Structures are given as structure tokens and as C-alpha cells.
Amino acid sequence: MDNAVTLIVAALATATLVVVVFGETLRVGVLETARTLTGAGHRGMAAAAWALVMLPIWFAGLGLLIFPRLPRWLVATWLVIAAMLLAPIAPFVPGRSSEIADLVDGPGAAGFATGLRWTLWTIPALLWLLVMSERTSYAGRKGLGAAVVVATGAAALTIALIRAS
């Protein structure tokens, strides 16, 4: 397990360094890629922002479902990859005196900001729902946590698409 912890720490340090050094370039690259893939429409950009946040979370959850009996180093590697997939989100997380809308500009920026805002608010709700699902009478039922993650993500996408129109 020591190797797994070392791997996780090294990957997170590398991802942090990449975000600090290349944050602006990463932000612009993510926005340009989203515009290219979606045509810069508001709903398409909202969906792109949603995917930027939710797909790495679903990737991590899938790993936890698939790998419960595999060696811990393999599970740790999967989670490290999921954590590194979250790195492109970092340049879009607002600071004390800024908002998400201040961090995006250009065609489709409003849709992207809306999708990102609603999806980022999903994360605390998701964590709360996962904790509560483990405390209910359904605790221990296989797939309940996955169902909560998928349902929460789908709700975030639905709200983002409605609000982006």
C-alpha cells in the first residue's frame, strides 16, 4: 500500500504543478476544445462543462465498482487517473473575488459558465447523498452508490441545459 500512497501523492503533486504553471493555457485550451466540439452553442457548452466535471467522477466511481477485489495499487492507479482528469477543472474554480463568469469569455461562455456552476454545486450534494445512502436501510446493496452518482449527474445536466437556454 505504501507504493499506492506514493503514487497518489506524486500524481496529485504533478497535477497541481501542471495547473499552476499552465493554468491559463489549460483554461483557453479547454474552452477552445469545447467550442470546437459543440459549435459554441449555449446548451452544447453547458453540456461540455458538465462533462468536464462529471466524467472524471464517474470514471472514479466505475473503478471503485469494478475493482473491489483487485490489488490496492491497481485501484489507486485508477483513482490517480481520475484525479488527473479533474485537473482541467482547476482553472475554472473561482477565487475569493471572482466568479465563474469572470473566468470564461468568448462564444458560448455563458452556457459554459452555467453548466460549470450547476455541475460544481452537484459535488457537495453528491457527497451528502452518498453518505446518506450508506446510512439508510438500503446500505450495502450493490450499486446504490452508483445509482446515486448517475442520478445526481443526470439532474445536474438537466438543470444546466434548461438554465443555458
Exposed / middle / buried, residue 52 (Cβ in 10 Å: 0-12, 13-18, 19+) = buried
Question: Which stretches within the chain are classed as H helix?
Answer: 2-38, 42-66, 72-85, 100-103, 109-135, 144-164
Question: pLDDT higher for 63 or 59?
Answer: 59
Write out pLDDT tens, residues 72-95: 778 778 878 887 888 888 888 888
Average pLDDT, the chain: 83
- Give the Cβ contact number of residue 114 at 10 Å: 26
Domains: count for the chain: 1
Buried b (16+ CB within 10 A) or exposed e, 59-88: bbbebeeebeeeeeeebbbbbbebbebbbb
Write out pLDDT tens, residues 96-121: 878 888 889 999 999 999 999 989 88
Mean pLDDT value across residues 11-35? 86
Range of the domain at 153: 2-91+100-164
pLDDT at residue 61, rounded to an integer: 76
